[in-house]
Chains A and B, each alone.
Chain A
C-alpha cells in the first residue's frame, strides 16, 4: 500500500467523522457498562453527548459533496452529500428523543441490569442507519441494512419478561432474514449482469441499450423487497403491526421514524443514482426504461396507504393503530418519490421532519400513559380528558397533525406532497391520497372521541407527569404548532438538502 492510498483512507475517515463518533460511543458504552456494574445512570448522558457531537460534525460538513473510500474518481463506497446529511441529522435527532423516552419509560427501567447493551444496540442501529443514508455500493447497502436489522431484532425483544416481546422479536428475525435473503439474491443478479456493485458504475453500464430488461426488472424488484420491508411498504409490511405492538414503546417509536427515514434515504438514492438518465430543467427525472419505477412506486404507495388506513379502522390498541398509521404514512411519503422530481423529494424531506415530531410525540404520550396504567388499549383512554387534560390535548394535537389538518405541521407536510403531485399532473393519484386522508380522519378522531366524549366505567386516576416529561412534551408539541404557521425555514432546509452527489 503506497502513501497515496493511505492518504486517501485518512481523508475518507475525515469525511465519516459522525460515524466514527458513533462507533466510538458504542465501545465506550460497553466499557462503561462493564466497569460500573451498579450505576447505570451515566449511560444516557454518554449517549446524548455522543449524539450531540455527531450532530455537530454533520452540521459542520453539511454542504460537503464528496465520495468516501473511492474506488475510482467517479465512484465510491460511501457518499457524503447534503441529502445524506439531512437524513443523518434527522436520525440523530430522533435518536436523542428516543434516548430521552427510554429514560422515562417504565418498561425499559424494569430491565435495568441490561441497560448497557440497550444503549449500545441503539447506537449500533444509528451506525447502520447512517451508512444506509450514505451508501452507494450494493455491498455497503446490504451490510448497513443488516446492521440495522440485527440491532433492532434484539431491541424489539429487549424486555424479556413479556411473551409478546419475544414473539415480536422472533417474527421480526424470521421475516427480516427472508427479506434480506431476497434482497441479496437481487444484488447477486445485478452483479452477475454488470460485474459491479457500485451504483454509479452500474448506472453508466446500463445506459447501453442491450441490457437484459427482464432480468434487471427481477433484480430491481428483489432489491426493493429488502428496502420495502424497512420502510414497511405494502405488501412487505406484515411484520410491522406485530413488532410495533410487541416491542417496548421507545423502540416502536424509533422504528417508525429513524429506520423508516434511513430506508427512504436508501430507496431514493438507489433509484435515482442507478436508473437516472437525465434531469430536465424543471427538476423532473427521466429514468432508464428498464424498469417502470414510476408506475411501480405509484401502485405500491396507493396499496400501502390504503391498506394502512383501512386496517387501522379496526384497531383497538393504540400501538397497533399507530403502527398501521405509520404504514399509511409510508404510502404518502412514497407518493413524493413517485412524482420523480426534485419537488417531490423536497416534499418528502419536509414531510419527514414534520412526521418525526408528530409521530414521536404521539408515541411519547402513549408511553407516558402506559407508564401509569400499563395498557395501550383504546378503551382505557376513556375519560382521559377530564382526568389528565394536558396529555389528552397534546395527543389530540399530534393526532390532528397526523391526519393533516391545519393549523398543524402535518397539514404543511401533506400540502407540499399534494402540490408536487398536482404540478406533475398526477391528479388521480392526488385524489386517491386525499380520500385516504379522509379515511384516516375516522380512526384518529375515534381516539379523540374516546378521550373527550366517552365516560369511563371505572374511576380513572389522574396521570401525573414529571416536570422533565412535561417540558419534553411541550418541546415536541411546539414545533408541530409553529411549523403549521411559520414553515419557511423548514422549506428552505429541505430545498437546500435535495442535492445528491453527481446531480
Chain B
C-alpha cells in the first residue's frame, strides 16, 4: 500500500456515487429495484473508506498525499484539479460514507411506497458524490464547485415532495439564502486567485507564509478570510443566515439526518478547517462571535418548539455554532472532533425521530406523543444515548468533544481576558441539556397523549433500527479515547488530528498563536507533503505543542475546571427538564406566562423570518415597486408631458425609425441574405462555369499579388 494506492482508492470513493447516481437516475423508471444498486454502491464505497482510513492512519499518519492533474492551461492561467488525502479528509470521508450508507439503508424502509422512490436514491447518490468532492479537494475552486453541487442536491431533496407548497418553498428558501453566503465565498476565492494565481490550498499557504498577502495589507487578508467564511455561514446555517435550516426539515427525515445534520451543514465547518491557516486574528474573532450567536440564539428557540424535527434542527444550528466558535477561539482540534462526534449522535437523533415519525404515521408534534418508550424500546434506547451525548454527559463522545470546546473558550478567556465566549459556551451547554431532555421526556416518557396513534405505533423494521444502533454505539467514548475524562489521551486527538501550521503574518495573529522561538520549517508544498509537525515530534515527542506553548499550557489548565463546570451545568439542565416535564413539579405554562415576552421571542424564533420579510424581502419588493412607480409616473409623465413635442418629433422620428434604424437592422439581415443568394447563384451546378470561375479568380489573385 503506497501513497498512490491511497489516492486511487480516494478517487474510486469519490466517483462511485456518481456512477450510482447516473445509473439509478436513467434506469429509475425501467428497473424497479435499481435502488438496491445505489445502496450497494454506497456499501462498497463505505468498505473502501474503511480501508482508506485504516491504511492512512496506521501507516501514513504523518503524510499528506496529493494527486493532481492540470485542467486548464491557457497562456498564464494554469488551473490544477486534484485530491488531497490527509488525516482530516480520511476521517471525514469515513463519517460521510458511513452515515450515507446507513441513511440509504434506513430510507429503504422509510421511503417505501413513495412514487419517486428510485429518484430519491439517485439524489442521495449525487449528494454523496458532491460531499465526497468537498472532502477530498485540494483546491478551493473544486471546493466551490462541489459546494454548489451539494447545494443543488440539498435543494432537490428538501423539495422532494414538491407537491407540498411548504416543501418547495423551503427548497427555494434554502437555495436563495445559501446564495447570499456563496456570494461572499466566491468573492473571497476571486481575491485569492487574483493574488496568488492558483486555487491550490498548499500553494496559497506557502505564498502567504512567504509574506505575500492580498493588496499588501493584513486588513485585506482578514477580509478575504471573512468572505470565505461567509460561505460557511450560509452552508452551516450560522447566524444570520440560519433561517433556512429549520424550514429544510420539510424534506424526508433521512435526508435531514444525512444532509441537514451530519454532513452537508458540517461542510461549512470543514471549509474553515481547510482554510484555517490563512485566517488572521481579527477574522477568527469575527468567526467566534458569529459562532457564539449561532450557538446561543437557536438554543433558546429550541426550548419552545413542538415539532420534533424542528427542535433537532435548532439544536443542529446551535451545535454547529459551537464548532464555529471553537475554531474562532483556536480550539481547532476540538472543533473537528465535535464535528465527527456530532455527526454520529445527531444522525442517530434524526434517524430516531424518523423512526418515531414512521411509527406515529407522520405525526411530528411532540405534544401528541408520549409514552413511546414501551412501544419503541430500541429507538428509545438509541435516542437516549444520543441525547446524553449531545447534552455532554460523561462516558459519551459528546462529553469529550464539548468539554474540549468549553476548555478552549475557557483558555481563550484566560489568555485574552475575554470571557464572553466561555460564558455563552457554558450557558448553551445548560440550555442544550434542558431542551434535549424535554424532547426525550415529552416523546418517550409519561402517558400517551394521542391514544389512537399510540396504539398503532410499532417498532421499526430491522433496516431502520440497525443504523440507529450503529450510530448510538459510535456515540460512546471508547471509540475515541480509553480515558472517558480526557480526550487528549485518545488516539483521535493525540495521533490523528493535528492543528495546522498557521501561515498568516505574526502580528496579524492572536497573541497566543504566535510561533515560539523554535520556528517550524516552512510548509513546502510537494507531492508528498510532510507537515511541519513531524520535525517537532522528533524534537520532543513527550510534549505535544499546539500552535504555541502558551496556548497548550492554557488548554491544559482549563481542562479540569471546564469539565467540572460543564458537568454541573448539564446536570442542572437535565434536572430542570425532569422537574418540568417528568415530575411536573414546575409548570412550564406558568413560567411561560411569567416571562411572556421572552417566551414569545423564543416561540417565534426571535422573529427572524418576520424581520427578513419586513426588511430584505420588503426592500426587494419595494425597489421593484419603486421602479414600477417610476415607470408609471415619471417616465409616463415625461412622455405625456412632452406629448406635444413628441407629436412634432414623432413624425420625423417615425420616418427615421422606419427608414434608417429598421433599414440598418433589416438591411443587415437582408444583405446577409443577398450575399448568401449571390454566393449561391455562383453555384450553378454546371461544371464549365466552375472552371471558368477558377481560372478567373486565379487571374485576379495573380493581379492582386503581382506587386509583391
Q: Name the one of A174, A295, A313, A487 contacting B687, with C-beta atoms under 8 angstroms.
A: A174
The segment out of A31-39, A92-100, A201-209, A231-239 that lies at the interface is: A231-239
Interface centre among A236, A242, A291, A488 (most CB of B within 10 A): A488
Instruction: Determine the distance from Cα of A241 to Cα of B680 in the docked complex, in whole angstroms.
Output: 10
B682 interface residue, CB < 8 Å from A?
yes
Interface centre among B69, B672, B679, B691 (most CB of A within 10 A): B679
Question: Cβ of B75: which chain A residues have Cβ within 8 Å of it?
Answer: 419
B708 touches A213 (CB 8 A): yes
B418 interface residue, CB < 8 Å from A?
no
A307 touches B679 (CB 8 A): yes
A interface SS class: helix
Question: Cβ of A218: which chain B residues have Cβ within 8 Å of it?
Answer: 702
A296 interface residue, CB < 8 Å from B?
yes
- Which chain B residues (322-358) contact chain A, with CB distance < 8 Å? none
Q: Name the one of B74, B680, B693 contacting A311, with C-beta atoms under 8 angstroms.
A: B680
Interface membership of chain B positions 678-708, coded 1 if the CB is closer than 8 angstroms to chain A and 0 otherwise: 0110110101011101100110011011101
The minimal Cβ–Cβ distance linking B148 to chain A, given in whole angstroms, is 15
B520 interface residue, CB < 8 Å from A?
no
Contact status of A310 and B679, CB under 8 A, knowing A218-B702, A488-B70: yes
Interface centre among B74, B672, B705 (most CB of A within 10 A): B705
Residues of A in contact, count (CB < 8 Å): 40
Question: Cβ of B74: which chain A residues have Cβ within 8 Å of it?
Answer: 415, 419
B680 touches A314 (CB 8 A): yes
A296 touches B705 (CB 8 A): yes
- Which chain A residues (282-329) contact chain B, with CB distance < 8 Å? 289, 291-292, 295-296, 299, 306-307, 310-314
A178 interface residue, CB < 8 Å from B?
yes
Instruction: Determine the distance from Cα of A238 to Cα of B680 in the docked complex, in whole angstroms.
Output: 10
Question: Cβ of B683: which chain A residues have Cβ within 8 Å of it?
Answer: 238, 241-242, 311
Question: Cβ of A241: which chain B residues have Cβ within 8 Å of it?
Answer: 683
A488 touches B672 (CB 8 A): no
Contact status of A238 and B694, CB under 8 A, knowing A217-B706, A291-B705: yes
Closest to B671 in A: A310
Question: Cβ of B697: which chain A residues have Cβ within 8 Å of it?
Answer: 235-236
B71 touches A217 (CB 8 A): no
Question: Cβ of A225: which chain B residues have Cβ within 8 Å of it?
Answer: 694, 698
Q: Name the one of A175, A213, A488 contacting B691, with C-beta atoms under 8 angstroms.
A: A175
A30 interface residue, CB < 8 Å from B?
no
Instruction: Determine the distance from Cα of A491 to Cα of B73 in the docked complex, in whole angstroms.
Output: 9
The minimal Cβ–Cβ distance linking A144 to chain B, given in whole angstroms, is 22
B702 touches A314 (CB 8 A): no
Question: Cβ of B690: which chain A residues have Cβ within 8 Å of it?
Answer: 171, 175, 238-239
B73 touches A488 (CB 8 A): yes
B595 interface residue, CB < 8 Å from A?
no
The minimal Cβ–Cβ distance linking A29 to chain B, given in whole angstroms, is 31
A378 interface residue, CB < 8 Å from B?
no
B673 interface residue, CB < 8 Å from A?
yes
B641 interface residue, CB < 8 Å from A?
no
Instruction: Determine the distance from Cα of A175 to Cα of B688 in the docked complex, in whole angstroms.
Output: 9
Q: Name the one of B675, B704, B708 contacting A291, with C-beta atoms under 8 angstroms.
A: B708
A179 interface residue, CB < 8 Å from B?
yes
The minimal Cβ–Cβ distance linking B450 to chain A, given in whole angstroms, is 50
Contact status of A178 and B694, CB under 8 A, knowing A314-B677, A488-B73: yes
Closest to A235 in B: B697
A8 interface residue, CB < 8 Å from B?
no
Contact status of A238 and B693, CB under 8 A, knowing A221-B698, A488-B72: yes
Contact status of A488 and B71, CB under 8 A, knowing A218-B702, A241-B683, A311-B683: yes
B588 interface residue, CB < 8 Å from A?
no
B637 interface residue, CB < 8 Å from A?
no
Instruction: Determine the distance from Cα of A296 to Cα of B708 in the docked complex, in whole angstroms.
Output: 11
Question: Cβ of B72: which chain A residues have Cβ within 8 Å of it?
Answer: 487-488
Cross-chain pair count, CB within 8 angstroms: 82
Question: Cβ of A222: which chain B residues have Cβ within 8 Å of it?
Answer: 698
A405 interface residue, CB < 8 Å from B?
no
B676 interface residue, CB < 8 Å from A?
yes
A313 touches B73 (CB 8 A): no
Instruction: Determine the distance from Cα of A427 to Cα of B694 in the docked complex, in whole angstroms.
Output: 30
Question: Cβ of A295: which chain B residues have Cβ within 8 Å of it?
Answer: 705
The minimal Cβ–Cβ distance linking B142 to chain A, given in whole angstroms, is 13
Question: Cβ of B73: which chain A residues have Cβ within 8 Å of it?
Answer: 488, 491
- Which chain B residues (53-77) contact chain A, with CB distance < 8 Å? 69-75
- Which chain A residues (410-440) contact chain B, with CB distance < 8 Å? 415, 419, 439
Instruction: Determine the distance from Cα of A217 to Cα of B699 in the docked complex, in whole angstroms.
Output: 12
B694 touches A179 (CB 8 A): yes
Interface membership of chain A positions 231-270, coded 1 if the CB is closer than 8 angstroms to chain B and 0 otherwise: 0000110110110000000000000000000000000000
Instruction: Determine the distance from Cα of A47 to Cα of B686 in the docked complex, in whole angstroms.
Output: 36
Question: Cβ of A299: which chain B residues have Cβ within 8 Å of it?
Answer: 704
Question: Cβ of B694: which chain A residues have Cβ within 8 Å of it?
Answer: 178-179, 182, 225, 235-236, 238
A214 interface residue, CB < 8 Å from B?
yes
B708 touches A310 (CB 8 A): no
Question: Cβ of A311: which chain B residues have Cβ within 8 Å of it?
Answer: 676, 679-680, 683
Q: Name the one of A175, A214, A310 contacting B706, with C-beta atoms under 8 angstroms.
A: A214
Q: Name the one of A182, A238, A289, A487 contacting B682, with C-beta atoms under 8 angstroms.
A: A238
A45 interface residue, CB < 8 Å from B?
no
A221 touches B708 (CB 8 A): no
Instruction: Determine the distance from Cα of A447 to Cα of B435 in the docked complex, in whole angstroms.
Output: 64
A486 interface residue, CB < 8 Å from B?
yes
Contact status of A221 and B705, CB under 8 A, knowing A239-B690, A311-B676: yes
Instruction: Determine the distance from Cα of A474 to Cα of B72 in the docked complex, in whole angstroms.
Output: 25
Closest to A171 in B: B687
Question: Cβ of B708: which chain A residues have Cβ within 8 Å of it?
Answer: 213, 217, 289, 291-292
Closest to B674 in A: A310
Question: Cβ of B672: which chain A residues have Cβ within 8 Å of it?
Answer: 310, 313, 439
Instruction: Determine the distance from Cα of A406 to Cα of B71 in the docked complex, in whole angstroms.
Output: 16
Instruction: Determine the distance from Cα of A46 to Cα of B291 in the docked complex, in whole angstroms.
Output: 71
Instruction: Determine the distance from Cα of A241 to Cα of B684 in the docked complex, in whole angstroms.
Output: 11
Contact status of A310 and B691, CB under 8 A, knowing A221-B705, A289-B708, A419-B75: no
Question: Cβ of B705: which chain A residues have Cβ within 8 Å of it?
Answer: 217, 221, 291-292, 295-296
- Which chain A residues (7-46) contact chain B, with CB distance < 8 Å? none
Question: Cβ of B71: which chain A residues have Cβ within 8 Å of it?
Answer: 486, 488
- Which chain B residues (500-525) contact chain A, with CB distance < 8 Å? none
The minimal Cβ–Cβ distance linking A94 to chain B, given in whole angstroms, is 26
Contact status of A242 and B685, CB under 8 A, knowing A225-B698, A235-B693, A292-B708: yes
Instruction: Determine the distance from Cα of A238 to Cα of B693 in the docked complex, in whole angstroms.
Output: 9
Closest to B669 in A: A442
Closest to A443 in B: B676
Question: Cβ of A439: which chain B residues have Cβ within 8 Å of it?
Answer: 672
The minimal Cβ–Cβ distance linking B77 to chain A, given in whole angstroms, is 11
A217 touches B702 (CB 8 A): yes
Q: Which 10 A-B pairs have the closest CB atoms?
A: A238-B690, A235-B697, A311-B679, A310-B676, A313-B676, A171-B687, A310-B675, A292-B708, A314-B676, A174-B687
Q: List 29 A-B contacts (CB under 8 A).
A: A175-B690, A175-B691, A178-B691, A178-B694, A182-B698, A214-B706, A217-B702, A221-B698, A221-B705, A238-B683, A238-B690, A241-B683, A291-B708, A292-B705, A296-B701, A310-B672, A310-B676, A311-B676, A311-B683, A312-B676, A313-B676, A314-B673, A314-B680, A419-B75, A439-B672, A486-B71, A488-B70, A488-B71, A488-B73
Residue numbers of B with Cβ under 8 A of A are: 69-75, 672-673, 675-677, 679-680, 682-683, 685, 687, 689-691, 693-694, 697-698, 701-702, 704-706, 708
Residue numbers of A with Cβ under 8 A of B are: 170-171, 174-175, 178-179, 182, 213-214, 217-218, 221-222, 225, 235-236, 238-239, 241-242, 289, 291-292, 295-296, 299, 306-307, 310-314, 415, 419, 439, 486-488, 491
